[in-house]
Amino acid sequence: MSTNPPGQARRTPAPPKGTVGIGQPEPVASPVFRENAKKQLQNTLMRRNMKHATTTIRNKRLLRVAEVPNWDEVRAQGAGLKDRVARHLDYYLAMAEENLIKAGAQVHWAKDAQEANQIIVSLVKAKGVDEVVKIKSMATQEIEMNEALEAAGIAAWETDLAELIVQLGHDRPSHILVPAIHRNREEVREIFNREMGRYGTPPPKNMPNDPPVLAGAARVHLREKFLRAKVGISGGNMIIADTGTMVIVESEGNGRMCLTLPETLISVVGVEKIIPSFDDLEVFMKLLPRSSTAERMNPYTSMWSGVTPGDGPQEVHVVLVDNGRTKVLDDPEGRFVLRCIRCSACMNKCPVFERVGGHAYGSVYPGPIGIALTPLMRGIDSPIDKSLPFACTLCCACDDVCPVKIPLSDIIVHNRNRVADKKRHDIHPHLETTVMIPADWAFKKAKHFELVQKAVSIASGIAFKNKDYLGPMPWPASPWTRARDIPAPPVESFRSWWAKNRGGAK
Ligand code: SF4
Ligand code: SF4
């Protein structure tokens, strides 16, 4: 099976033994956010890179948003449109399918990641190729498509610059928009020098760490892959239901190459990406570029409706993926998260994300959107998923920047409640439950509360005499008291003071 241009030898060397394509990235260090975060906080280079990148993009976004006088109104329109689609998802999906087919596309439905991967692998295999070029897409990362293709002997070449850096570095993306945000230009140069030649055209000798030179090396490296590929794979920012049009916005032009050069195009899209009509596109084209790359308009917006004879791919497939989205729709408090247009503004604003980076979350979606969405989509059974809702200080900064007004902090609290409820039903009572039993008794009646206060006053008089603050205490209070000064309880309660000084009235 050859995918080379006629008469040319394939220039890409064989992948290292035991792998197809670039191979699997390093696994996430720990199954729990807190442990990952502790480790990531030691990485001062990553923290410096993250701070620089998120501060720059955050400040630029503020300028771009300030240029739109009715920004809040547009946000409300975007939220309203997404809610309308969620309320009538069955109707709009059927409309989108009908119009996609009318335009010449083939539509496939996948209820989960496994089904989506089976469809994609069989479509690629039917073309008789062993490699594809692809555009950065959160949906394909979510279903682990690259891994599924690799297991089937098909290499998936990332063509977005940041994704290429991540793939060549055998790394994981740490941001949904800037996957290599944790890397600086010197690290990129080192990765390109070490890895590029193993998978295709090598970088120029003595390459400086100058961004345009690094981008130029990636361009040359990718060009042979674009020209050779018979199959392209994309995600999709939107599907316009009333015209059956797919929309992708991007900055580098690699998407345009993937969408137009290969003979076959497979687009993998979450079912919530529908917008009702072509007119509604205007709203999202105002919101998305300003919130994501902080630009008035992104450099490349590609739209296509099915197949045009003699122009672009002659076989177009759209794989519509559920993978937990309808479960989220079923949750009256969590469903607003389906408004998400994956702009990443919430991440760039989140103080926790800025400090720990994306890898700590152990999820394709890190930051505020990740801790709101992932426990709803995947459930709260695994240690990482139940730890995610607590990766948050509830500062609410993410709510303020979200272009579709998702109440992220409310959904995070909702996820915390779900985790707490689940613990409550555990066979062995959790520490919180154990503490709540005496607390319940104390707060139920004024008399009980008075008794507890008296007991605390007597104990304080003995234990904390002449002390203003409690020092570190033994477990289970140790994690709390290690880092906080807690005032010593007063030796006399307000109630007893009131009784003494205000004639005994209680
Ligand atoms: S509320 Fe939580 S998730 Fe949102 S920005 Fe603040 S710390 Fe981050
Ligand atoms: S939750 Fe809002 S701010 Fe965050 S990625 Fe989604 S649309 Fe953007």
Would you list the domain boundaries of the chain?
Answer: 71-156+216-323, 333-424, 431-501
Question: How far is Cα 156 from Cα 129, in angstroms, rounded to an integer?
Answer: 11
Ligand nearest, relative to CA of residue 349: 1
Which residues sit with their C-beta closer than 6 Å to ligand 1?
A: 349-352, 368, 392-398, 408-409
- Does residue 270's CB lie within 6 angstroms of at least one atom of ligand 2? no
Tell me which of 57-71, 300-314, 434-448 is least confident. 434-448
CATH number for the domain running over 333-424: 1.10.1060.10
Angle formed at CA 502 by CA 499 and CA 506, multiple of 5 degrees: 45
Closest ligand to the CA of 338: 2
Confidence band (pLDDT; 50, 70, 90) for 4?
very low
Please report the pLDDT score of residue 489 as a whole number: 79
Helix then strand count (H, E) for the chain reads: 23, 12
Q: Cis peptide before 299, with omega less than 30 degrees from 0?
A: no
Q: Quick check: do 71-156+216-323 and 333-424 share a fold?
A: no
| Chain segment 474-487, per-residue pLDDT in tens | 887 787 788 888 88
What are the DSSP calls for 254-292, one per residue? Answer: HHHHHHHSSSEEEEEEEGGGEES-GGGHHHHHHHHHHHH
**Alpha-carbon distance 448 to 441, whole Å?**
7
List of residues 6+ apart from 396 with CB closer than 8 A: 409
Among 346, 365, 398, 415, which is best to mutate for testing ligand 1, by the most ligand atoms less than 8 A from CB?
398
User: 413: helix, coil or strand?
Assistant: helix
**DSSP structural state of residue 429:** P
Q: Is the CB of 79 under 6 A from ligand 2?
A: no
> pLDDT digits over 299-320, tens only?
999 999 999 999 999 999 999 9
User: From the CA atom positions of the chain, what is the Rg in Å?
Assistant: 27
Characterize the bridge pairing of strands 315-321 and 106-110. Answer: parallel
Rounded Cα–Cα distance for residues 371 and 173 (Å): 16
Q: Which of 107, 70, 349 is nearest to 239 (CA)?
A: 107
Relative to the alpha carbon of 176, which ligand is closest? Answer: 2
For the domain 71-156+216-323, what is the CATH code? 3.40.50.10420
In ligand 1, the atom with minimum distance to the C-alpha of 349 is 5
Q: Whose C-alpha lies nearest to ligand 1, atom 6?
A: 395
Share of the chain above pLDDT 90, in %: 72
Which is it for the CA torsion 28, 32, 37, 43, positive or negative? Answer: negative
456, HSE (Cβ side, Cα atoms, 13 Å):
15
Atom of ligand 2 nearest to the CA of 291: 8
Q: Is the pTM above the cut of 0.75? A: yes
What are the structure tokens assigned to 188, written together? Answer: 């990129």
- In whole angstroms, what is the distance from residue 346 CA to residue 360 CA? 16
The arithmetic mean of pLDDT across residues 382-389, rounded, is 92
